Structure 1
Amino acid sequence: MYHYTVSTAILAADGNAEAQNAAPVAPAGGEQLQVTIEGQQVPEEAPAQPQAQQGGMLGMLPFIILIALMFFLMIRSQKKQAKKRQEILSQIKKGDKVVTNAGIYGVVQEVKDQTYILEIADKVRVEMVKNGVAGKVNSAEAADAGKNA
C-alpha cells in the first residue's frame, strides 16, 4: 500500500502565495494505490529518518593523519640529509680534494669562515662559498676525473 501527501498553493488576492497541505489520500474500497514520483515508487513504509552524518573532523581524521605522517617523514628526511651535508662540509680541511656543485674538481688551499679557496688547475685558484662544494672526493674518483680531463 502506498501513501502520499498533496500540497497545493493558492494565490491570494494580494499576490501572496499560501500553501495548503492536504491530508494523506487513501484509495476507496481497499484498493492499492501506486504513486510514481520522478520514475521511482515511494512505498508507505519508506524511512523518513535522515541518515546520521559523521562529524566533520571525525570524517577527515584519516586524511589529516596521512598528511601529518607524510609531512613528518619528508621534513625528517630533509633535516637528516642537511645535517649529514653540514657534517661533511665541516670536515673539509686544507689539502682535501673536493668537487663543486658545478662539477669542477679542485684541492682546498685555504678554509675561511664562509668560503674555501680551491686550486682547480696549476696556479689557478678560485674562492667558492662552502655551499657551492658538493663534497669530498676520494682518491679513486679524483684519479678518474684527472684521466678524463
Structure 2
Amino acid sequence: MRFIYAGVPDSGAQGTAATSGAGAMMQLLIMLLIFFAMMYFLVILPQRRREKEYKQMIESLKKGDVIITTGGIVGKIIDIKKDTIKIKSSNATELEVHKAYIAKVVREKEESKEEDNTSSQ
C-alpha cells in the first residue's frame, strides 16, 4: 500500500508567512511592554514611595520621640548620632540601635493629645 503525502499547495504562501511572523513579533513586543509597565506601576513605584517615606521618617527623628525597633523594643530617643540612636527602654536601660532597625515612630501622648485638640476645634 502506498501513502501519498498531500502537502499544502505553495501558492504564494511565503509572502504571508513573512508578514504574519512580523505581526507576531510586534504583538510579542507590545505584550512585553505592557507587562513591564504593569510591573513598574504595581511593584517598583510603590516600593520607591515606601523607601522615600522611610528615609523621611529616619531624617525627622528627634529627641523625645518614642520608637519601635524591628525587634519589638519600644523606647524613647535620648541621643542621636550619625548612624545610631540611643534609646531608653525602661527606667535604667539604655540601648544603642542602628537607624536602619527602626520600624516605626510613635509620637508622645502629649503631642497626639495636642493634635486631637486642634482637630476637634
Q: Which has the higher strand share?
A: 1
Mapped partners of 1:105, 1:99: distance in 2? 5
**Alpha-carbon distance between aligned partners in 1 of 2:100 and 2:4, rounded to the nearest angstrom:** 72
- Structure 1: runs of 5+ lacking an equivalent: 1-34, 141-149
Question: In structure 1, what residue type is equivalent to 2:26?
Answer: L
Q: How does 1:103-122 map to 2 (within 5 A)?
A: 103-122=72-91
1:88 aligns with 2:57: yes
- Poorly superposed stretches of 4+, deviation over 3 Å: 35-38
What TM-score do you get using the length of structure 1 for normalisation? Answer: 0.58
The total of aligned residue pairs comes to 101
Q: Is the deviation greater in 62-71 or in 119-128?
A: 62-71
CA positional deviation for 1:76: 1.5
How far does residue 112 in structure 1 lie from its aligned partner after superposition? 0.7
Q: Show structure 2 runs of 5+ residues with no match.
A: 110-121
* Partner secondary structure for residue 92 of structure 1: coil
Q: Matched residue of 2:88: which SS? A: strand
Q: Is structure 2 residue 21 aligned with structure 1 residue 54?
A: yes
Which structure has the larger Rg over C-alpha atoms? 1
TM-score by length of 2: 0.70
Q: Percent identity?
A: 23
**Higher-RCO chain (CA-CA 8 Å, sequence separation at least 6):** 2
Give the structure 2 partner of residue 71 of structure 1.
Answer: 39
Q: Which has the higher helix share?
A: 2
Q: CA RMSD in A?
A: 2.5
